[in-house]
Amino acid sequence: MAIDFLYFNTYHVAVDCIIFGFDEEGLKLLLCKRSFDPEKGKWSLMGGFLNPEESLDQAAQRVLTRITGLKDIYLEQFDVFSDVSRDPAARVVSAAYYALIKIGDYSNDLIAEFGAKWWPVSQYPELIFDHGQMVEEALVALRLKAKQEPIGFELLPQFFTIRQLRSLYESIYQTQLDPGNFRKKILSMKLLDQLPIKDKENSKRGAYYYEFNQQRYERFKSQGFLFEM
């Protein structure tokens, strides 16, 4: 075979991002109203086309920065969507990423600009193309990852209570967790530093704030420790 033949066909390449956030109400998903055809005005994921001078990871970061104003966002690529007719306007191969952001850091100005809105993961509108399937796969990938890596902290503010952390895991796994046992387990890992401040909003006694110690996690991991929830 000649190079001419092998290197003949080319395709549009895109990234699509499932942006997760978390607040008192649970796990959420940032969707936007599409501002161009096809399917203009319908709800969709944040996405964009690959530029010639960047990798897919860089393209995803660029799209996320444009939409959230944030830099160095936690990102995981979890699948590529390549069905021949997934985008009726053109043949587009799309790398799907999920991103975790601290919902409080997200600027409300941008919501207006992009027609964006946070939706509960259990109740979001119909999406264009195969974006609904992407969301469901992202949730599966997120659940898997959250069992093996301490990524939950990417969704919480820097300081948080054990209750908030438990509530996050409860909303990721759609289940109730025993408060005492959850507490015992997470504290036994020695990855949280207790702060001398309490949250008194949710209880009279007050719950201590904690902070995730990333450095200690890296150290433990290099010594063979495996995070598991």
Q: Considering the rule CB under 8 A, would residue 174 count as an interface residue with a second copy?
A: no
188 token code pair: 């036994």
Q: Considering the rule CB under 8 A, would residue 13 count as an interface residue with a second copy?
A: yes
Strand-pairing partners, residue 119, are 29
Q: Considering the rule CB under 7 A, would residue 183 count as an interface residue with DNA?
A: yes
Q: How far is the CB of 45 from a second copy (least distance, A)?
A: 15
Contacts with 7 (C-beta within 8 Å, 6 or more apart), sequence order: none
Strand-pairing partners, residue 47, are 16
Nearer to DNA, 94 or 161 (CB): 161
The span from the CA of 153 to the CA of 214, in Å, is: 10
Helix axes 162-173, 131-148, angle to 10 degrees: 130
Task: Indicate which single residue of 25, 66, 69, 83 sits in contact with a second copy (rule: CB under 8 A).
Answer: 83
Q: Considering the rule CB under 8 A, would residue 1 count as an interface residue with a second copy?
A: yes
Pattern 132-161, DNA, x by CB under 7 A: -----------------------------x
Q: Considering the rule CB under 7 A, would residue 181 count as an interface residue with DNA?
A: yes
Nearer to a second copy, 4 or 72 (CB): 4
| Among DNA, a second copy, none, residue 71 binds (CB under 5-8 Å by kind) | none
Helix axes 179-188, 162-173, angle to 10 degrees: 110
Task: Indicate which single residue of 33, 117, 163, 216 sits in contact with DNA (rule: CB under 7 A).
Answer: 163
Nearer to a second copy, 51 or 203 (CB): 51
Q: Considering the rule CB under 7 A, would residue 207 count as an interface residue with DNA?
A: yes
Instruction: Walk across the sheet containing 43-44 and list its strands.
Output: 43-44, 26-33, 116-120
Find the length of the chain: 229
Strand-pairing partners, residue 112, are none
Task: Indicate which single residue of 33, 42, 70, 93 sits in contact with a second copy (rule: CB under 8 A).
Answer: 93
123 token code pair: 């109740």
Contacts with 164 (C-beta within 8 Å, 6 or more apart), sequence order: 156
Q: How far is the CB of 187 from DNA (least distance, A)?
A: 7
Q: Which residues bind a second copy (CB under 8 A)?
A: 1, 3, 6-13, 36-37, 49-57, 77, 79-80, 82-84, 89-91, 93, 95, 144, 148
